Structure 1
């Protein structure tokens, strides 16, 4: 009983299992990695809080409990969870129009949206929907991250350059930029330039040091003495709160407005987390549990909301720091959370001197890694449809916003998929001189079987493509696709690729097709899924009306055996009953003699492939 309860606990909390099996040799690397992660996470959390539109302290709240939660419930040993550029951009895009410039309502909306995101994740985990990680395809996610990165960078220009902007949307920002940039605040610009120069300097010559933290410490120290003199904006007093905001006056109607966006946020957060977790799990040779990751993300977001934080996801930059330093287990997250908690409780006073211009530069610096047009260019060579989808996603995110852009991109991606299902690729098959079946192509060694079409439909047959399937078979039989003067007597269907499940419309369509071909004196055979087709078509053992075979080779042997006997005996107009008996005898023989070679094909006429 104890073993069962322990097994159940470890299955529910994979991270706890690693901590129970902790080895002493891992402690040193984990402490070093924990300190390094916290050094990078601190300034980025504050910067992402600014991006979300909330107090910097909220960014720290969004780190502590979520990191501890993931350390216990997550299955990845390297993944670091925390504020993420994409999630912050989505929250800001959704909440800003609803809050109507009311800071109290704004924070309430952020917390509620985060809580709802966590609930969606827990529901998905309960329903075992870890496969949703594949819903946002790589082209969509690549386009999304590029679009979000460009939006963030342009949105930070007014902070970096110190001018006032009343525009919130990208198009308006760009439209008003030529006029607004004329009011540039030069001390803020110099502060930004110095911040950027220091970041580049540390990255080039001291790459192992936490550059964002060191640079922010330097700029905060300088701002404490010079900011007021040069009128440089600082983030101001950072107030800690020990209780949730008062929700008694919260308009309940706004919950409807957050329902779908929070679902979108849960999906984007999970997909982003899974991409990062999978890549590092593959690198370090272990497996992760997608449903456990959904549960861990849900619990982390709920705890973030309870602690007045905002939505979190997998943080690729901090995860990379963890892996590079040599972190071994989820203890890294606990150590990093402890360091951030120490800063929150004992070192918040200096935070008020952080210059907003420097914070904007750090945010741009952290976001720059999301821009990846190189992979988009690669898609152009590998898959033009994926390339167009990625470009479409970028454009939509930039023009209509993050939420609407994601929705449109997913819709277009589904339409591309449906187009493949509606009108899939297809191929005709033949055999070489050694009797091996291949697709017909320009390779002259592969030739069609005489009087026979072997057809492969590269998609599952469903109610919305069965009509197209029937039309294609009839077109081939009638020589409308360049099949020349070959007299077709047999049509062999590769059932493995086409008939994957029972569908009433499909079964009815196959019966109609069989009747249409029989009228033309053509027999239709199905190769593969014999057991399934016997059940779906309700074929009884005594009913030989349906010709079902275990694979293509048996179907071809059956056709060629009948052809050989017809040629040898010169049967032209035999009695129908004797023909049925002859076919039945040959079929039984063919099914037994599975190793019989396919007869020579050297004298067969060539068929042109589709």
Structure 2
């Protein structure tokens, strides 16, 4: 909507050209996806017109095109088909109801500012999910391509039964399927800028019109009722609605995550940002618009978005132009559509599903991230073995478990200093050395009640492993103390007492204002007799050096303190970075640009050893 308010005249011709190109791609795909969803072909067109206009008004992406999507249609079909029990009218009504529920879930999520859910399903999990959905669609369309009907409902059962269907192949239908495939491949090779699916459906429909579909005994789309759809009020028991609630939630999640991946990639390419919460709202309104117009659930369409971008689309006007072009066909030019063979639609769906597959990318994960590799393949296998809906549910749970694991058992590092006095992670650079007598610890997750115990065990374990017991523990509070938690403060108090019994001083670096306030509220002593709190790591090092240097002088005259040892080596001066830094109003660390990035890649810290009850 923003780009429409600031519309420039120079954008008009590129937007019209892109809109017509998008309509040419969207028309055959919408009809094919209607077949996949189990509703009439005209419903696929209904699902394009109003949703595209609504998204143009509420969306924040300038290139994104919404419409029917392979994954969403596969989900709807998997949920609705068994509930409809063969009743075509009920099937359509259930589709509309599930679409409306999906829209409401999206609006609720937008209201609650849950746009962050765009990052919930990691890319590997989504890759596994989409690959599984693609294979499910491809196998399901084999019956349309070869002219027989599957008696089995499960993917594995259908694959095992394929050889038994050899005698039932309808060779005329198979001939039209091969003709569709040949035209699509030739078009992509000779005229890649054209809509190969539209051209293929036009050619096979014309050939079938010449040959008479009744005489050839080839299944076709059939006559379509042009004009506005009649408003239908769903008529089925409330119990069926309860069956749709959770699947609609899953569908909203998958649709939104998939849409955001597409929207963000094209926004980054064209140099602007999008608002995730606004996108959630726009998707919700678009799905409600689809339900009102008797359509089915929609999502971001990556192929049509790519067509828009390739043709130079500048604004959301492209969606409006494409919607108007599809509306003209829907209301005035539906007669030629009745000759489209369902076998050709099956080929279009198979080709579209192949674009969802990325097995090379899945296999490549084994080198870059082994955990992501297994997550992706487990998701993929679950979709194939258990079905689309259980697979999506498992994908959501895997995303949740992955997040909880990262929060509950995050990486951690010990920090050291190089010869220039810059703090870095130990273990990756030989120039970075541990500071004698000091252990600097960073915990890479917000501390909360379910990882506080792990934090304490890690600190005690790392201290016990030190060959020469340190006299000071400095904790980077910026990375882990992000909010007040009574369980965390209780753990800090216990850890402070444990360290004090073993002669180890506890220091917090960062968030000085917040940490001081939280510690005092928890009844933990702050200051010389308790936990020392400083604005950042550099000042913590400088002040603790001075603090215990005086104690060392009093107790061990003539001996160098462990903190002075680091800065008393030949050629090593106290770094200029060890200076006082002020906090902002919230006590957050305000390091200047002269302080280098100390968030280096995590050092591997072995956690296999048994955690000691007490320090050795």
Query: Stretches of 4+ moved more than 6 A in 1?
Result: 539-543
Mark the CA change 1:247 to 1:24 in structure 2 (over 3 Å): closer, same or farther. closer
Note the 1:43-54 alignment, pairs <5 A: 43-54=28-39
Quote the residue 1:223 is aligned against: 208
1:541 deviation in Å? 7.8
Which secondary structure state, in structure 2, belongs to the residue aligned with residue 311 of structure 1? coil
- Out of 119, 123, 130, the position equivalent to 1:145 is 130
**Native 8 Å contact 1:202 1:211 kept in 2:** yes
**Native 8 Å contact 2:94 2:234 kept in 1:** no
Quote the residue 1:264 is aligned against: 250
Work out the CA distance in 2 between the residues paired with 1:329 and 1:562: 62
Work out the CA distance in 2 between the residues paired with 1:467 and 1:331: 55
Q: Which digits, 9 at most, give the CA deviation of each residue in 1:447-477, with x for residues without a partner?
A: 2222322222222222122222222222233
Which secondary structure state, in structure 1, belongs to the residue aligned with residue 415 of structure 2? strand
Aligned: 1:84 with 2:69? yes
Quote the residue 1:577 is aligned against: none
Quote the residue 2:590 is aligned against: none
State the TM-score, normalizing by the size of structure 2.
0.87
1:184 deviation in Å? 0.9
Aligned: 1:488 with 2:470? yes
Which secondary structure state, in structure 2, belongs to the residue aligned with residue 491 of structure 1? strand
Quote the residue 1:161 is aligned against: 146
Aligned: 1:524 with 2:506? yes
Quote the residue 1:233 is aligned against: 219
Quote the residue 2:560 is aligned against: none
Mark the CA change 1:593 to 1:164 in structure 2 (over 3 Å): closer, same or farther. closer
State the TM-score, normalizing by the size of structure 1.
0.88
Quote the residue 2:45 is aligned against: 60
Q: Which digits, 9 at most, give the CA deviation of each residue in 1:519-558, with x for residues without a partner?
A: 2222211111211111111168877422111122222223
Note the 1:492-571 alignment, pairs <5 A: 492-538=474-520, 544-565=529-550, 568=553, 571=556
Aligned length: 562
Structure 1 residue runs without a partner (length 5+): 1-14, 573-589, 597-607
Aligned: 1:367 with 2:349? no
Work out the CA distance in 1 between the residues paired with 2:114 and 2:577: 46
Q: Which digits, 9 at most, give the CA deviation of each residue in 1:402-423, with x for residues without a partner?
A: 2211111221222222222222
Work out the CA distance in 2 between the residues paired with 1:422 and 1:45: 44
1:568 deviation in Å? 4.8
Aligned: 1:386 with 2:372? yes
**Native 8 Å contact 2:526 2:532 kept in 1:** no
Aligned: 1:471 with 2:457? yes
Note the 1:435-474 alignment, pairs <5 A: 435-441=421-427, 443-474=429-460
Quote the residue 2:271 is aligned against: 285
**Native 8 Å contact 1:163 1:183 kept in 2:** yes
Work out the CA distance in 1 between the residues paired with 2:434 and 2:127: 43
Q: Which digits, 9 at most, give the CA deviation of each residue in 1:151-173, with x for residues without a partner?
A: 11111001101122122221121
1:561 deviation in Å? 2.8
Q: Say what the alpha-carbon RMSD is for the aligned residues.
A: 2.3
Mark the CA change 1:565 to 1:397 in structure 2 (over 3 Å): closer, same or farther. same
Q: Which digits, 9 at most, give the CA deviation of each residue in 1:170-198, with x for residues without a partner?
A: 11211211112331111111111111011
Mark the CA change 1:487 to 1:44 in structure 2 (over 3 Å): closer, same or farther. closer
**Native 8 Å contact 1:108 1:245 kept in 2:** no
**Native 8 Å contact 1:115 1:302 kept in 2:** yes
Quote the residue 2:117 is aligned against: 132
Quote the residue 1:184 is aligned against: 169
**Native 8 Å contact 1:534 1:540 kept in 2:** no
Quote the residue 1:114 is aligned against: 99
Which secondary structure state, in structure 1, belongs to the residue aligned with residue 7 of structure 2? coil
Mark the CA change 1:507 to 1:309 in structure 2 (over 3 Å): closer, same or farther. same
